[in-house]
Chain A
Amino acid sequence: MHQSFGATYGPLPLRFAVPLLLVGACVAAFVVYDMYRMAEAEPGETDAVTAAGNGSESGGVAPSARALGYLRGATYALGTLLVLALLTVGTVGIIAEIKGTWHWAIHLESTVSYLGVFVAGVLALLLPAATLLVIARRVVDE
């Protein structure tokens, strides 16, 4: 038997849930913007990042820059997961509205129920990761 987030922990109070999701949306937007900016950046600027991503021996790259590269990768991955989960829920919801059948209402219900747990977990990781990334950017000189 699957236990939903609400059944396990009690309902997440709205005064927490609304800001949480709004901040999550802002973080996802920031991640997308950051990806875009990094793609536009000069090749020289991203050298440290690509070297850090290789994981192999890369002389001259500071460990802090490499850690920052990993942190950025993790944040990107989490932001992508959040957006993909939301796209899944939205697509199933729209299809359910178009079809208007019990069958699809139940699809929507189970999708929302499962992905609610998933999104809560992703948000719990994404929010600290993005905060850390913003702070680390100021500390570490790339």
Chain B
Amino acid sequence: MSDLPGPSRLVHGLTLLSGGALLLVVLGAATVAMLAEFAKTWQWYFRMEQAMELAMPATLVLLGLFVTGLVGMVVLADRD
């Protein structure tokens, strides 16, 4: 792992980072949704709406980065 050349290490890190961030964003949005369901007030359902509105573009960008990173990892991988 540590003797990977430059670009492939970069792509590797980018993929891991975007995948991790993707998980965290989705989990965060779901946490707000669960709080809203426990609270059952319009204020919290509105917060859920806002959370989804914030999380959606971030998810799309991160998902794009993640898929690109995965493809990049495969392209840059060593052929044994």
Interface residue ranges, A against B (CB under 8 Å) = 4-6, 11-12, 14, 17-18, 20-21, 25, 83, 85-91, 93-94, 96-98, 108, 112-113, 115-116, 119-120
Contact = CB atoms under 8 A, between A and B. Distances in A.
A94 B27 contact: no
Q: In this complex, which of B27, B34, B35, B39 has the most chain A Cβ atoms within 10 angstroms of its Cβ?
A: B34
Contacts of B67: none
Interface residues of B, number: 25
Given A90-B30, A112-B37, 7 more contacts: A5-B38, A11-B40, A21-B31, A21-B38, A86-B27, A87-B27, A88-B30
B59 A17 contact: no
Contacts of A18: 35
Contacts of A87: 23, 26-27, 30
B60 interface: yes
